[in-house]
Amino acid sequence: MTAIDDMLATNQKYAAGFTKASLPMPPGKKLAIVTCMDARINTHSAFGLEEGDAHVIRNAGGRIPDAVRSLVISQELLGTEEVAIIHHVDCGMLTFTDESLRKQLREKGMDADSIAFAPFDDLDESVRTDLRHYQQCPLVRHDIPVRGFVFDVKSGRLNEVK
């Protein structure tokens, strides 16, 4: 059985007991979280969320430039009024540079020279960079709280970056 087949079988069991059909589309806590796609981060347990509480926007590294489209929709159409930017300890984005990944792809016959993969080498600074990017983006709301954090995948702790 493949992982997708396993997912489908598990989903059938989930759907059989599904009771959340009446949740409204806008998130109840009016919160948008931008975080990494890392499979070790269970956003609901780690951040105290239930279904319907928040929009969780995930991408490699939890980077704001990749999340702007989703944030605009979350804020303008679905009413979110706070943003948490959450990067994490032991992130894969700390393990390469744009040039090293481009070289790896070139060796496979692919041209990725026009893509910025947005790796980083300093966690706190990556959060600050994304906070600045958010503040400079004309499409997102600037009248709401926006805060940055580093999540420790070893301890489960969330630490605010100032």
pLDDT, tens only, 53-84: 999 999 999 999 999 999 999 999 999 999 99
The CA R_g of the chain, rounded to the nearest whole Å, is: 18
pTM summary value: 0.94
Angle at 42 (CA atoms; ends 124, 121), nearest 5 degrees: 25
What pLDDT does residue 25 have? 94
What pLDDT does residue 116 have? 92
What pLDDT does residue 78 have? 98
Q: Which domains does the chain have, with CATH numbers?
A: 23-161 (3.40.1050.10)
Give mean pLDDT, residues 128-136. 98
Angle at 95 (CA atoms; ends 157, 140), nearest 5 degrees: 65
Long-range contacts of 120-127 (CB under 8 A, 24+ apart): 120/61, 120/93, 120/94, 121/94, 123/87, 123/88, 123/89, 123/91, 123/94, 123/150, 124/150, 124/161, 126/61, 126/87, 126/93, 127/85, 127/87, 127/161
- pLDDT at residue 161 tops 90: yes
Confidence of residue 20 (pLDDT cuts 50, 70, 90): very high
Within 10 angstroms of residue 46's Cβ, the number of other Cβ atoms is: 18
Give mean pLDDT, residues 74-98. 98
What pLDDT does residue 7 have? 96
Confidence of residue 1 (pLDDT cuts 50, 70, 90): confident
pLDDT, tens only, 44-55: 999 999 999 999
CA atoms within 13 A of residue 15's CA, in its CB half-sphere: 6
